[in-house]
Chain A
């Protein structure tokens, strides 16, 4: 059934009537996504793209049974929109904004305690189950349905991996962009677990970056719990220490969060490691062959 989203997902868009949100909502619908409406405070009762607009997430959920939201609000107000979605009981909340204050996310994750929303992002390209559901800003046409799960921090590196796989005829079950911020929603480990439990996924590509302990923690979990092959890549082997590489979270602080250290740790834990970013696709193909599955 893929992970987090599929054709049964009932999707709303927060910040629905904005320019970017409109563009990506149209693209999502064209990709087969079941978009059931949107939220723009103050514009409730109108329609947009032929769909109902609501003043609040609570109203939208009550009226449409929505269980997934794509948040296209700007970073200064995106966390408020996210908290509103969590409070309304939305199952999956995708937050695209780049530039969300870190302390806002610290509080949001505490707010999540006892609640069950899966947050994807912020600073994320979103999530796509090819041909069935897309909530995000990725170019849908490069993705094809298949049996490899992809999870990455970066959007464009997700596209790069998918494109390399596509040239070899390898499709994807679901692609998740967990975002490039230091404090983010769903982490690598949680996504790996979802892929491990998903009967439609045969292998997983995990694409990390410099900074933070998430990649290695996820690799440790995979080594102990996963039966499916995991292929790991970490960008930034050439990045200098102490300089932030674009993403707020992409900065080397200690010895353990360099790309080299993460790749070495992954390899030690038994993952298939890609050291050349141009070889992600071919490495996935080889790993699938070794595992005796054809995606």
Chain B
């Protein structure tokens, strides 16, 4: 789960990590009030959306007067910000963070994440701050410095000092070690999967400051962090993915035309791959999970069909703890409760497969039954081509 920059900075502040003075606002009047409170004569206005790339897209602006601050704030709130990560439709800016601008001499990158290779927390630092760190890692891997943390001892001071020396922060050794230790404590205590300070800066006064911050948390640990779970902003998430999640479905919208309803993440990906191999593109990833009831399957149909690009549906189930008869019931229920123009291809295998097939056959529905994964993908793509060619959906009838 991702949170906004202003929320991340509040958490950093609570852990004693220095951030610029500032506050999130929802109006230009509030922006002026905040400027009054924090003082200074230049302020930064930062659009609060979850996507990165805000700076280049005009989502981070400097105001040199109160008037300019109000004007920039007013213009930014309610606008749609298009960055390299939002897609062409952009993201609605509902609030901005107002901060006192500070002069910075140098910028560093600081990150903590769970490293899959070592299966431990990795602390990453670089003297190339304020830029895309993945770009740095690609072009100049030698400028990225990493320390792996033993969870039994936690991050050790000497590891922090090593990083300080590697990135040229020896002159601010003590505050840097303190900052890293506090960030590591936050990561562990709140089950963060990613903590990034980019850039970390040294101000003219010699203070270290987290100028930008990104925190991402483990969804599976939210049950023990009510305070973090509250920070979720559903406006920043795909409403269909949120709805699917509420039904116990895992859904990711894609850009193709073959709607997929599958059980298991691995098989769902393989089904998408098979569709691509046959020359079409999947409209979505959808995993109905284990023990899928007829209702759940019917909900899956509804969510998939809400996507106007879907021209054909492929149901691919290999039932282990699932039951093919329940899946078949769900298919029948879905087709009875809503008009479905798209041809439906169904492949069933595993637990109670005969019962499932019997239910589909006796339903009298125009379903295209498939023998296996390859057959399913091929028939789905053939049905798509037929629909595209403007043929009336060929009434396939139900056959074994």
Contact = CB atoms under 8 A, between A and B. Distances in A.
A147 B254 CA distance: 39
A239 interface: yes
Interface stretch (B73-81, B369-377, B392-400): B369-377
B377 A154 contact: no
A278 B274 contact: yes
B266 A157 contact: yes
Interface in A276-291: 276-279
A37 to B, nearest CB: 23
B319 A139 contact: yes
B119 interface: yes
Given A156-B318, A159-B349, A183-B119, 13 more contacts: A109-B119, A109-B120, A154-B265, A156-B267, A158-B266, A183-B114, A238-B282, A240-B254, A243-B252, A244-B252, A246-B269, A255-B138, A278-B372
A43 interface: no
Given A106-B151, A109-B119, A246-B268, A139 B276 contact: no
Max chain A Cβ within 10 angstroms of own Cβ: one of B116, B263, B270, B374: B270
Interface residues of A, number: 63
A107 interface: yes
Interface stretch (B7-15, B164-172, B197-205, B215-223): B215-223
Contact of A159 (B114, B119, B275, B320): B320
B134 to A, nearest CB: 7
B248 to A, nearest CB: 11
B282 A163 contact: no
User: What size tier do the contact residues of chain B reach?
Assistant: 35 or more
Contacts of A276: 273-274, 277, 374
A235 interface: yes
Given A139-B350, A246-B285, A156 B320 contact: yes
B132 interface: no
Max chain B Cβ within 10 angstroms of own Cβ: one of A137, A158, A164, A239: A239
Pairs A-B, 3 closest by C-beta atoms:
A154-B266, A156-B264, A246-B265
A180 interface: yes
B269 A239 contact: yes
Interface in B54-95: none
Interface string A253-281: 01100010000000000000001111100
Nearest to B376: A278
B318 A138 contact: no
Given A157-B267, A210-B269, A238-B272, A138 B320 contact: yes
B114 A103 contact: yes
A226 interface: no
Contact of A212 (B116, B282, B349): B116
Nearest to B253: A243
Max chain B Cβ within 10 angstroms of own Cβ: one of A110, A163, A277: A277
Given A154-B264, A237-B276, A277-B373, A106 B269 contact: no
B283 to A, nearest CB: 11
Contacts of B269: 209-210, 235-236, 238-239, 245-246, 250, 259
B281 interface: yes
A237 B273 contact: yes
Contacts of A278: 274, 372-374, 377
28 contacts: A20-B321, A102-B193, A104-B221, A106-B119, A137-B320, A139-B319, A139-B351, A160-B267, A163-B318, A163-B349, A163-B350, A180-B266, A183-B116, A183-B119, A209-B266, A211-B116, A212-B116, A213-B116, A238-B254, A238-B269, A238-B272, A240-B254, A245-B268, A245-B269, A246-B250, A248-B219, A277-B270, A278-B377
